[in-house]
Chain A
Amino acid sequence: MFNKLLRRQLVKLFGDNAEKVSAELKDFLKVVSESYDHYEKDRRMLERSIEISSKEMIELNNRLKQEVEEDNKAIYQSLQESLFNLNEEQEEKKITGSDYRKLGQVAEMLKQETQKRKDAERERKKHQAHLEASQQIAHIGSWELDMPDTSTADNIKLYWSDETYRIFGFEPRSVMVTSELLFSRVHPEDLPLVREKIRKAIIESSAYELEYRLLLPDGTEKVVYEQSRLVHSRTNRANRMIGTIQDVTDRRKTREKLIKVNNEIRTLFENMQEVFFTVDMKTFELLQMSSACEKIYGYTIRDFAKNSNLWFDVILEEDKQVIYGNDATMRQGNPIVQEYRIQTKHGDIKWVESKITPTVVDGELIRIDGITSDITKRKEAEMAVRDNEQKFRSLIQNSADAILVLNADYEIVYASNSLNKITGFTPEEVLGVNVIEFGHPDEREMLLQYKQKVYSNPGVPHNIIYRRVRKDGTYIWCEGTTINLLEDDIVQGIVINFRDITQRRQYEDALKAANEDLQKTNTELDKFVYSVSHDLRAPLSSMMGVVELALTETEDGDMLTHLDMIRRSIRKLDGFIVDILEYSRNARLEVRKQQIDFHDLMRDVTENIKFMSEGLGKKKRVNVHTHISGHKEFISDKGRIAIILNNLVSNGIRYANDMADDPYVHVSVELKPEGAEIIVKDNGIGISKDKQEKVFDMFYRVSKSSVGSGLGLYLVREATAKLGGHITLDSTPGIGSSFTVRIPNLQNH
């Protein structure tokens, strides 16, 4: 599609890709191509005109003219001689018959000569016409200048051919040609040059070539090219100058355009990131290279020209094999494309791509034309993609989960090896199969809905628990995650990963069953404890009833003492049973959140221990003081707080100091939004340091005189822990004990 010349140029630069240049560049090249076309047309025409107006033509013309003239001269001369002889003979002798014969011969000769001359004239005119036609076609005019002996430029005679008139903007032969007429049409800016050149040529009788502009009265500007030659006469003196004048306006315009276009192409090439180069492979001489080499290599064209091996030296050692590998192909005349890394002058490593078109003549590589471009960015991107892909692959290969990648039709396009382990199917067996086929028929609807959900939420992982068939036909429970990555550059699919949770489900089921069993056991245990406590305590209360009755029906001192001993034992046993009952309930029952009214609670507590000090045989009555302050709303488990208060207060009474003036138990409750602080302080017998840590242990009793079950403080600590609180003890033997219990307000939990 392009001009042949341009094509050749382009192939040289771009190799096979000459036709694949970008659309933008193509448009541009089309203009260039057209310019080339015009130029060629003009050139052909010029060549033809020059051919026509060639030296031979003019000389032939001249020779003809000369011959004719010389012949004529000769004729006249012989005619004159004949006439002279005739006159002499007439004067001296009478004209003889032979003289007349002679005369007749002369006349005949003359007649023949005249004929010859006429023929020659006709011939000349024919040539003249040809010449005129040629001049008109080629826009080439000719002129002739007769120079008289005087070597001045004044009285010279100028002759113009018709085309010359036309070039100068005149009708052929409409005006008298003078040098001033000529000069009047020369562009004023070029006039001095033209005058000088012609003057010099005339004076020195030298030939000249000149290009100058004409400015015609209508404002047309023309560019003409003039050549002149001297014509020597036989006297060897240059007395004539002939020349041609050619209108080269179009050619000139075309050339200017071409130069402009070439400049643009050059600019384009210079600005391109690619390096164009040509190397003579016989001499390894760098014939040409574009300046982009500095951008890519950091080295200048000069550097490359100086060291013909530089291009190879900068290639990384490990990449040089690429060059070796392609060498043979190139030497066979095949274009090659190769990628390798170079180290630039500045030390950085770059990836480049080089396309080379070799020229092979008679099996010998004579030159290469190539383009080298920086592809580091592309390469980095490629490698990043590959890297990610590798990571992705290794991730899915090493996963214990089976991983499937599906295409948009939900067909398996990739399956990891772990699929085999889980389902018994090899990855090859499942390729191309719609993944729904592996689901349980009963769950088909659910799977289709799930698929829809996955499709409509790209990039969002969805979880599912479903049944999947194994190769042996059995079903396993699977837990899967599916994510639609169809839009993702690397994956371009839907990724499913799933694992066999059949066993886990079995464990879960077993756990659930065990839990249910446990709950049943718990309920049963609760009933059991309830029954046991009733069955144990009922006879005790019966005994107590009888003992109380008996105590009222005797006056006998020993009997009263014995009955009282029984009564105490019964109380102790009953207390023990109640403690165990409470322990059991505390350990098993959940915390029951409810609003706590400490005033109510303390009333119940004091009610319970009302007659306690008497029953314990204490000499003095122990006073219980209560002080409640602070925040109103307090949420906790009433039963457990009752356990704590009951035990701490009853301990305070049990271990009251008989030596004290006023044995007391002081209960202070301070309520804050975050929790309650309960301090139970007494002035009892106290606990020695070494025993303070042990008092909270199960069944621990401080001394022989301890009257409790050994469970009281253990229960307090357990109940406190259940409520998320903690207890501290501060005690000095002989002075008293202080228990501080902090319990969080469960309102906020």
Chain B
Amino acid sequence: MEQPLNVPYKRVMIVDDTYVDRYVAERVIKKYSFAEDIISVESALDALDYLMAGKDHPEELPELIFLDINMPEMNGFEFLEKYKELPETIKKHCIIMMLTTSLHEEDMKLALANPYVYRFLNKPLTFDRLKEITLQPEKKDPQL
């Protein structure tokens, strides 16, 4: 019943401090061939480091970033603040999906008000949610 998604993305990144959530996300993405490659990091700082490292090699940057909100050290929103200051090369290459358990309206509003955030998704990541993304990939242009 659930068909592979024909690998719409080359490389995606998962930023989540919860191992189980990263594991589930990785498994689901792989299972339904959502992306060729998955970069999984356990903190926002690691994510920034990775992105900075790839600033001169855009081909190595993820096209899609699944970003959790509640994380120690640097939470999702703090990450977005830092992300804003990253070189245009990086920001042009990536789009961000919030992936969180938060049901707070304030969180959703704040996230969607950010120009780099494409969607606000609730955990867990399932086939249905991935399918949604592939069906309407251009619903919101993060660059505008």
Contact = CB atoms under 8 A, between A and B. Distances in A.
B20 A546 contact: yes
A552 B27 CA distance: 11
Interface stretch (B78-86, B111-119, B124-132): B124-132
B24 A542 contact: yes
Given A534-B101, A542-B21, A548 B123 contact: no
Nearest to A535: B70
A538 B103 contact: no
A540 B105 CA distance: 20
Given A545-B124, A548-B126, A537 B101 contact: yes
A559 to B, nearest CB: 17
B33 interface: no
A572 to B, nearest CB: 16
Say what secondary structure dominates the interface of chain A.
helix
Contacts of A6: none
Nearest to B122: A541
Contact of B21 (A530, A537, A545, A581): A545
Contact of B105 (A541, A546, A578, A639): A639
Contact of A541 (B23, B104, B123): B123
Given A534-B70, A549-B28, A542 B123 contact: yes
B31 interface: yes
User: Quick one: which of A548, A549, A581, A639 has the most chain B CB within 10 A?
Assistant: A549
Nearest first, the 4 A-B pairs at minimum CB distance are: A545-B124, A545-B24, A541-B123, A542-B20
A534 B102 contact: yes
B40 to A, nearest CB: 14
A548 B122 CA distance: 14
Contacts of B27: 549
Nearest to B105: A639
B143 interface: no
A544 interface: yes
B138 interface: no
Interface-central residue, B28, B101, B126, by most chain A CB under 10 Å: B101
Interface of B: 2, 18, 20-21, 23-25, 27-28, 31, 70, 101-105, 122-127
Contacts of A581: 103
B28 A538 contact: no
A542 B27 CA distance: 13
Nearest to A536: B101
B18 A538 contact: yes
B70 A538 contact: yes
B48 to A, nearest CB: 22
Interface in A530-574: 530, 533-534, 537-538, 540-546, 548-549, 552
B101 A541 contact: yes
Contacts of A534: 70, 101-102
Nearest to B1: A552
A578 B124 contact: no
Given A534-B70, A552-B2, A545 B125 contact: yes
B101 A546 contact: no
A578 B103 contact: yes
A552 B127 contact: yes
A81 to B, nearest CB: 177
A578 B102 CA distance: 10
A364 to B, nearest CB: 112
Nearest to B27: A549
A348 to B, nearest CB: 84
Determine which residue in A530, A533, A545 has the highest number of CB atoms from chain B within 10 A of its CB, and name it.
Answer: A545
Interface residues of A, number: 18
Contacts of B103: 533, 537, 578, 581
Given A546-B20, A549-B24, 19 more contacts: A534-B70, A534-B101, A534-B102, A537-B101, A537-B103, A540-B101, A541-B21, A541-B101, A541-B124, A542-B20, A542-B21, A543-B20, A544-B123, A545-B20, A545-B123, A545-B124, A552-B127, A581-B103, A639-B105
Contacts of A578: 103
B103 to A, nearest CB: 6
Contacts of B70: 534, 538
29 contacts: A533-B103, A534-B70, A534-B102, A537-B103, A538-B18, A538-B21, A538-B101, A538-B123, A541-B21, A541-B122, A542-B20, A542-B21, A542-B123, A543-B20, A544-B124, A545-B20, A545-B24, A545-B28, A545-B123, A545-B126, A546-B20, A546-B124, A549-B24, A549-B27, A549-B31, A552-B31, A552-B127, A578-B103, A639-B105
Contacts of B127: 552
A639 B125 CA distance: 26
Contacts of A533: 103
Nearest to B125: A545
A25 B23 CA distance: 124
Nearest to A534: B70
Interface string A95-129: 00000000000000000000000000000000000
Contacts of B23: 546
Contacts of A552: 2, 31, 127
B124 to A, nearest CB: 3
Nearest to A542: B20
A451 B122 CA distance: 68
B36 to A, nearest CB: 20
A639 B105 CA distance: 8
Contacts of B21: 538, 541-542, 545
A544 B2 CA distance: 18
> Of B104, B124, B125, which is in contact with the most chain A CB atoms at under 10 Å from its CB?
B124
Interface string A506-550: 000000000000000000000000100110011011111110110
A530 B101 CA distance: 11
Nearest to B106: A530
A639 B25 CA distance: 31
A537 B69 CA distance: 13
Contacts of B101: 534, 537-538, 540-541
A4 B49 CA distance: 131
B113 to A, nearest CB: 16
Contacts of B124: 541-542, 544-546, 548
Nearest to B28: A549
Contacts of A542: 18, 20-21, 24, 123-124
B4 to A, nearest CB: 12
Nearest to A537: B101
Nearest to B128: A611
B88 to A, nearest CB: 33
A552 B2 CA distance: 9
Contacts of B105: 639
Contacts of A543: 20
Interface string A696-739: 00000000000000000000000000000000000000000000
Contacts of B20: 542-543, 545-546
B104 A530 contact: yes
A544 B105 CA distance: 22
Interface string A267-305: 000000000000000000000000000000000000000
B24 A546 contact: yes
Residue with the greatest number of chain B CB neighbours at <10 A, chosen from A538, A543, A552: A538
A541 B104 CA distance: 15
Contacts of A639: 105
A548 B2 CA distance: 13
Contacts of B126: 545, 548
Contacts of A544: 123-124
B127 to A, nearest CB: 7
Contacts of A537: 101, 103
A262 B126 CA distance: 130
A51 B18 CA distance: 154
